[in-house]
Structure 1
Amino acid sequence: MRRRDALAGIGAAAATWPAMVHAEGTTRRIGVLMSYREGDDEGRSRLTAFRDSLRDAGWVESRNLSLDVRWLAGDSERAAREARALVAQAPDVVLVNGTPGLAALLTLTRTIPIVFVVVTNPVGAGFVESLARPGGNITGFSSFEPEIGGKWLESLKAMTPQLTRVGVLHDPEAAGFLTLLRGTEAAAGRFALHVQLIYARNAAEIQTGIEGFASGGGGALVVLPNPINSVERRSIFALAERHLLPAIYPFAFHARDGGLAAYGFDALELFRRAGPYVARILAGEKPGNLPVQAPTKYGLVLNLNAARAIKLEIPPTFLARADEVIE
């Protein structure tokens, strides 16, 4: 087939498949770094949302697209290894879920286009120049601003008015989340709360840290959106229940999976929005010219089963504020 004929055929196909294809039979390659363990329900749901949004934009696996998916399991060292292996494959675009994977990628490439999803404070972390014009080879979807810490503390105080101590579960190696930690600490005075850091780099530290905090009595937990906290969420649920600790989590799925309460956004929304961004980059747009987007809706989810398990009576006024209640 002559090149002119091939291009004509591609133009005709565009009526059905809007994404740009360079030549007949061309398969574009997308690398994906997911912060979860392979098989994690939330991780799989996020990946499915991204795949579906790509399909809606005309990019279909085994037709004109291949995905190279790697699972980081909340481990910064693994993130560095998998990012290095992925960059060596020179994909057309990389989608990365979370701060550790993004930080690893940016030490390795400033040319491969990157779309990040659920990354906190990308400007403050130095990942992008600005939200409106991120610059370089990167764009994506941010997550939380520092002010969210005040909402988490407000929620805990509303559930347990007598509360005086809060343990913040934080991975000290996840520098991108320091702004959330500082925002939470800054808001503590408004609610007459003392904040204690609980270092959580792995499952063992999570257990030791929560048990040590619980021994002081009368406390509650703020679980920051570090990848390790989501990967080990069921262990955190069990420890909170065992020690009768109220806890607030950053994502709706935390409460749906068994946590007491969550104030935040549904991350699946951002993964659905990521597909069109990747499609635009495959069509030739520069990622640095695409503005960083943010969640459009925050909400409160309460799990009354978890409340009963720790013998906590949710005040009716706070219950009435919930956007979703799990019985």
Structure 2
Amino acid sequence: MLKPMKLIALMLACSVSLVVAAEQKSVAITQIVEHPALDSVRLGVKDELTEQGFIAGKNLKWQYESAQGNPTTAAQIARKFAGESPDVIVAIATPSAQTAAAAARNTAIVFSAVTDPVGAKLVKNLEKPGGNITGTTDMLPVKKHLELVKQLVPNIKTIGTIYNPGEANSVTIVELLEKVAPELGIKVVRSAATKSSDVLTAARSLVGKVDAIYLPTDNTVISAAEAVIKVGEQNKLPVIAADTDTVKRGAIAALGFNYYDVGRQTGAIVALILNGQKPGDIPVQGVNKMELHINPGAAERMGLTLPEGILEIAKEVIR
């Protein structure tokens, strides 16, 4: 039989355990592939949650799994997380968001780095998403990107783009590119790559056909961006990216989002849900902050002379 003091201590310990359990929240991250832009999103989510008091290993259970570019693996991760019922599933990039939405009907889902949430059938309405899902969209300002390309390559007539036809976000961007480009007197040449190992061949197929290559925020392509950059350097063919992280990897320039900031914005939405708000009541958020990143060394290697004064207006110059 327990003595009174030991019994009280045991009761207090149990009480503390119950309080901790009640306060513990859980977030599960699914990411289609690992590359700097998406990794920055994940870091931004975690940092924002930490700042708002949800600290991994303390009062937050944090799980992360990457599908390594494999849609089948993404579906397996989504089903696993759905079975575990975390407080929030964070799905980074369109393929992971689609598999999470299909698998987890009763769990809050926050997507990030999704170009076209409506086109991807994640939500019907950006302002009133309803249901169990919301998030942030990184819909690209394609016309501004083409204006930058024309500034960098003034005599451009044709632009090549590499994309995965299986990624809904990429199809949306390429279609928008083809719609906007004629307004600037530019013809678009598509080159498809259904997996990362196809990207080099897709890039080579554009040599001699285009005056520059534009890399959209296609997860398959960006995960193998170095292959395209190699082709650009070997053939003096300028490569311009849609995301700023690819400029550090050797693209000439990008006018894009800082994906860490996208992650912080996504993390703020996750925090709202952890604090009791329903995902369907939170509007899908766009990203308004744009940054110009320039890599002069990459321009030189690809035989491009940068316009005078462009380095002065860049947010970041990669040396």
Report the TM-score, using the length of structure 1 for normalisation. Answer: 0.86
Taking the aligned partners of 1:259 and 1:269, their CA distance within structure 2 comes to 21
8 Å Cα contact 2:292-2:314 kept in structure 1: yes
Letter in 2 for 1:198: S
8 Å Cα contact 1:149-1:181 kept in structure 2: no
8 Å Cα contact 1:29-1:67 kept in structure 2: yes
Deviation per CA, 1:56-75, whole angstroms, max 9, x where unpaired? 11111221111110112333
Equivalences for residues 274-289 of structure 1 within 5 A: 274-289=266-281
1:65 matched to which residue of 2? Answer: 60
Letter in 1 for 2:70: D
Runs of 4+ that moved beyond 6 A:
none
- Equivalent position SS for 1:23: helix
> Cα RMSD (Å) of the superposition?
2.4
Taking the aligned partners of 1:53 and 1:144, their CA distance within structure 2 comes to 22
Taking the aligned partners of 1:171 and 1:22, their CA distance within structure 2 comes to 49
1:99 matched to which residue of 2? Answer: 94
Taking the aligned partners of 1:22 and 1:256, their CA distance within structure 2 comes to 48
Taking the aligned partners of 2:31 and 2:299, their CA distance within structure 1 comes to 31
8 Å Cα contact 2:216-2:243 kept in structure 1: no
Taking the aligned partners of 2:259 and 2:222, their CA distance within structure 1 comes to 12
8 Å Cα contact 1:33-1:83 kept in structure 2: yes
Identical residues among aligned pairs (%) = 27
- Equivalent position SS for 1:59: coil
Count of equivalent residues? 308
Taking the aligned partners of 1:76 and 1:205, their CA distance within structure 2 comes to 16
1:243 matched to which residue of 2? Answer: 235
Taking the aligned partners of 1:85 and 1:125, their CA distance within structure 2 comes to 22
Give 1 or 2 for the bigger CA radius of gyration. 2
1:208 matched to which residue of 2? Answer: 201
1:198 and 2:200 matched:
no
1:28 and 2:25 matched:
yes
Structure 2 CA distance for partners of 1:244 and 1:190, relative to 1, 3 Å: same
1:273 and 2:270 matched:
no
Greater shift in the superposed pair: 240-249 or 164-173? 240-249
2:46 matched to which residue of 1? Answer: 51
Q: CA deviation at 1:304?
A: 0.2
- Equivalent position SS for 1:316: coil
Q: CA deviation at 1:313?
A: 0.4
Q: CA deviation at 1:276?
A: 2.6
Taking the aligned partners of 1:113 and 1:85, their CA distance within structure 2 comes to 15
Q: CA deviation at 1:219?
A: 2.0
1:135 matched to which residue of 2? Answer: 130
- Ranges in structure 2 where 5+ consecutive residues have no aligned partner: 1-6
2:143 matched to which residue of 1? Answer: 150
- Equivalent position SS for 1:30: strand
Taking the aligned partners of 1:307 and 1:155, their CA distance within structure 2 comes to 14
